[in-house]
Amino acid sequence: MTNADPIALIDQSLRVAIRAAFGEGFDDVDPILREAQKREFGDWQANVAMGLGKRLGKPPREVAETILSHVDFGDVVSESSIAGPGFINLRLAPAAVAAALSAMDTPTLGVVTEPSDHTVAIDMVSVNVAKRMHVGHLRSAVIGDAIARTLERRGRTVIRQNHLGDWGTPIALVLTQLRNNGVNLDQVTLEDLDTAYREAQANAKADRRGAEATRRFFAGSHRHAELEAQNEGADEVIAAAKQDLVQLQAGDPELHADWRKMIDCTLDAVQETIDLLGVRMRRDSDKGESFYNDQLAGVVESFLTSGKAREDDGAIVVDFPARDRPMIIRKRDGGFLYATTDLAAIRHRTHDLNADRILYIVDIRQRDHFRDVFEASRMLGWDTCADGTSAELNHLGFGTVLGADGKPLKTRSGTNASLMSLIEEAIRRGTDAVVARSQDPSAPTHGLSQEDLGRIGRAVGIAAIKYADLSSDAGKDYVFDMDRMVAFEGDTGPYLLYAHARICSLLDRAGGVPEGAVFQPQEPAEKDLGLQLLGYAKVVHQVSHSLEPHHLCGYLHRLAGLFASFYQQCSVLKAEDPAVQASRLRLCDLVRRVLSDGLDLLGMESPQRM
Ligand code: ARG
């Protein structure tokens, strides 16, 4: 019984004791176990006595005493006491920690898989064709990839979906502009597309009536834009583009070929960035808005026949009981909307992809859109898979990346910061730091080739960017501070990589973990480190449920910190007792593997030397 997680065993023992002490009706009372606030009294504490005291009408200290007189912790707890109003303090027996560490010391590191017949669909990256990726897409890619990797680690099949904005009036506007400019689409660059995008925007804006509509077309919230356009009446530029769109939708081969070239050009650039970032997403993830085009009439039809949509001044709208504003799913001119496409996408993901979880890693400003779309899809039961499982629809909205001035991050030219330029700078800074360190003759990187140093530098730079993005609550804005994020000290990605590399060097010098090493954590610093290691599976499980990678970041940062204190307080290479040294080396090795595994879930590489 001693080879299970000691905290789980304590939890179980306390539940049994509470039931035995207070009888029926006290089955499965949560003992409320927490890490101890004050380590001088114990390693963990149970806070259940306060609530139980209220319920029983007894002083909590008395309740705590009764629980302790009924409990059998076996050999897991070496010492228990009551403090303050009724906290139960528990000190863990080193042998119990050791046994749990041995049990965890397997290739899975204790992480339990929960395979399922269903898939998880993650809507991520989802750029708009003809536009350069900007820093907002970084967030979708990085957060989406970390969540995908974590779910995969837990045995789930994840389908990444790049829901490209490759259809509709904004795309037609650019296409028309390119044709007017006489651009040869066989040699088109993203630069050309971006320029045409801006020109199309400017031209359309020249028409005052259409200006607002155009601004919104390009601002992203398609739904409002199209609503607006409908109310204002089409202006000339938009009308011309719409003509092209109609032809494109009708399958005009020449327009279709041009459109395809535009997509390929955009996606080549996207793929280059995605690859450099180490985000696991390939071209077969692309399923843009155009994929759903021939399903849209059917979507509207389904809402109409089930009585969930009605006609309103020529448009088709869905009403929500709790809101005044309906959602348009077909415009007066017969065109479909961003929302119509998203409804088709939900149905496709539950019905065809068998997804019981659909996660949207999209800017938080699209919250209302997803709320409406989710609610509408539930009206028709489209959130249900073929086997009747109802799917979780979840918009994980992320905040804005800010510059030092607290405004959305811009480059000097005033346009949205190009993602590539930021990544390149981070890599350059990372590489400079790695190269500078390698000058020291005692550095483990001393004498490595430029190529190897470059590879390490790239890992450092990417980790810097990703960690800064992942380490705080995704819904919040964060300030993009290059100096801070590339630092080797502090709550940063490079700090974690460095901790990992240091342990690799240490193990190298020791010649690895000795055969037959047995864990024997004696010193408080060893026990703390051991307990932190034992929490790994729990945090991975937590992230796979809460979908909040920042908990894993926090966990790894604490682990690296505890390792640093351990290393300061306990000699490893100079330990006198070979058994103690063997135990410590095995502990180091486990820390190394947990760091590397955790970093991998966050999408970061962990070089052996730094
Ligand atoms: N292309 C959209 C935009 O840039 C984001 C798409 C998000 N995904 C979705 N299924 N709506 O605003």
Give ligand 1 pocket residues (Cβ under 6 A).
Answer: 123, 126, 128, 163, 165, 220, 342, 345, 360, 362
Measured distance CA(572)–CA(583) in Å, rounded: 9
H helix or E strand, kind and range, residue 277: helix 253-277
Nearest to 97 by CA among 173, 182, 236, 4: 4
What is the predicted pLDDT for the residue at 35?
82
Give backbone dihedrals phi and psi of 272, rounded to 5 degrees, phi first: -60, -45
Residue 298: which residues within 8 A CB-CB, separation 6 or more? Answer: 344
The neighbour count for residue 437, using CB atoms within 10 Å, is 18
DSSP readout, 47-102?
Answer: -HHHHHHHHHTS-HHHHHHHHHHH---TTSEEEEEEETTTEEEEEE-HHHHHHHHH
Q: How far out from the chain centre does Cα 373 lie?
A: 22
- 136 Cα: distance to centroid of ligand 1 (angstroms): 11
Three-class secondary structure of residue 134 per DSSP: strand
Which residue type, as a one-letter code, is found at position 116? S
Per DSSP, 182 falls in state T
- 124 Cα: distance to centroid of ligand 1 (angstroms): 8
Q: Which atom of ligand 1 is nearest to the CA of 338?
A: 11
Measured distance CA(595)–CA(220) in Å, rounded: 38
Residues 85/61, Cβ–Cβ less than 8 Å: yes
β-strand partners of 328: 317
Residue 360: which residues within 8 A CB-CB, separation 6 or more? Answer: 123, 370, 393, 394, 395, 396
Q: Mutate which of 137, 366, 395, 416 to test ligand 1's pocket (most atoms within 8 Å of Cβ)?
A: 366
Residue 559: which residues within 8 A CB-CB, separation 6 or more? Answer: 529, 532, 533, 536, 591, 594, 595, 598
- 127 Cα: distance to centroid of ligand 1 (angstroms): 7
Measured distance CA(417)–CA(123) in Å, rounded: 23
Look at ligand 1, atom 9, and give the residue with the nearest C-alpha. Answer: 163
Mind listing the pLDDT tens digit for each residue in 529-564? Answer: 999 999 999 999 999 999 999 999 999 999 999 999
Q: Which atom of ligand 1 is nearest to the CA of 222?
A: 12
CATH fold group of domain 419-601: Isoleucyl-tRNA Synthetase; Domain 1 (1.10.730)
Look at ligand 1, atom 6, and give the residue with the nearest C-alpha. Answer: 126
- 6 Cα: distance to centroid of ligand 1 (angstroms): 45
H helix or E strand, kind and range, residue 328: strand 327-330
Q: Which atom of ligand 1 is nearest to the CA of 373?
A: 11
CATH 3.30.230.70 correct for 6-92: no
Categorise residue 24: left if φ over 0, alpha if ψ from -120 to 50, beta otherwise.
beta
Residues 73/80, Cβ–Cβ less than 8 Å: yes
- 309 Cα: distance to centroid of ligand 1 (angstroms): 24
- 121 Cα: distance to centroid of ligand 1 (angstroms): 14
Look at ligand 1, atom 3, and give the residue with the nearest C-alpha. Answer: 220
What is the predicted pLDDT for the residue at 524?
84
Q: How far out from the chain centre does Cα 160 lie?
A: 13
Residues 274/125, Cβ–Cβ less than 8 Å: yes
What is the predicted pLDDT for the residue at 553?
98
Give backbone dihedrals phi and psi of 450, rounded to 5 degrees, phi first: -55, -40
Residue 210 structure tokens: 């259409």
What is the predicted pLDDT for the residue at 145?
98
Give the Å distances, CA to CA, from 394 to 33, 158, 454, 551.
Answer: 30, 15, 39, 19
Residues 602/467, Cβ–Cβ less than 8 Å: yes
Measured distance CA(118)–CA(120) in Å, rounded: 7
Nearest to 502 by CA among 388, 384, 378, 589: 589
β-strand partners of 394: 359
Measured distance CA(608)–CA(610) in Å, rounded: 7
Look at ligand 1, atom 11, and give the residue with the nearest C-alpha. Answer: 342
- 581 Cα: distance to centroid of ligand 1 (angstroms): 54
Residues of the chain with pLDDT under 50: 1-3, 208, 220-221, 223, 227, 230-234, 414
- 64 Cα: distance to centroid of ligand 1 (angstroms): 54
User: Where are the chain's structural domains?
Assistant: 6-92, 131-157+283-395, 169-250, 419-601
- 288 Cα: distance to centroid of ligand 1 (angstroms): 9
- 125 Cα: distance to centroid of ligand 1 (angstroms): 8
CATH fold group of domain 131-157+283-395: Rossmann fold (3.40.50)
The neighbour count for residue 494, using CB atoms within 10 Å, is 25
Angle subtended at Cα 341 by Cα 339 and Cα 343, rounded to the nearest 5 degrees: 70
Q: Which atom of ligand 1 is nearest to the CA of 140?
A: 7
What is the predicted pLDDT for the residue at 550?
98
Measured distance CA(489)–CA(241) in Å, rounded: 53
Q: Which residues of 409-430 are buried (b: 16+ CB within 10 A; e: fewer)?
A: beeeeeebbbbbebbeebbebb
Mind listing the pLDDT tens digit for each residue in 113-129? Answer: 999 999 999 999 999 99
* Mode of pairing for the β-strands spanning 315-318 and 327-330: antiparallel
H helix or E strand, kind and range, residue 159: strand 157-161
Per DSSP, 284 falls in state G
- 151 Cα: distance to centroid of ligand 1 (angstroms): 22
Nearest to 403 by CA among 394, 415, 387, 391: 415
Residue 543 structure tokens: 């992230």
Q: Which atom of ligand 1 is nearest to the CA of 345?
A: 10
The neighbour count for residue 13, using CB atoms within 10 Å, is 19
Look at ligand 1, atom 1, and give the residue with the nearest C-alpha. Answer: 165
β-strand partners of 309: 318
What is the predicted pLDDT for the residue at 216?
53
Residue 91 structure tokens: 């000190």
Q: Mutate which of 122, 163, 287, 393 to test ligand 1's pocket (most atoms within 8 Å of Cβ)?
A: 163
Three-class secondary structure of residue 609 per DSSP: coil
What is the predicted pLDDT for the residue at 212?
56
Half-sphere exposure at residue 82, Cβ-oriented, CA atoms within 13 angstroms: 16
Q: Which atom of ligand 1 is nearest to the CA of 165?
A: 1
Angle subtended at Cα 135 by Cα 132 and Cα 136, rounded to the nearest 5 degrees: 95
Q: Which atom of ligand 1 is nearest to the CA of 370?
A: 11
Three-class secondary structure of residue 575 per DSSP: coil
Which residue type, as a one-letter code, is found at position 586? R
Give backbone dihedrals phi and psi of 555, rounded to 5 degrees, phi first: -60, -50
Look at ligand 1, atom 12, and give the residue with the nearest C-alpha. Answer: 220
- 164 Cα: distance to centroid of ligand 1 (angstroms): 7
Measured distance CA(473)–CA(456) in Å, rounded: 28
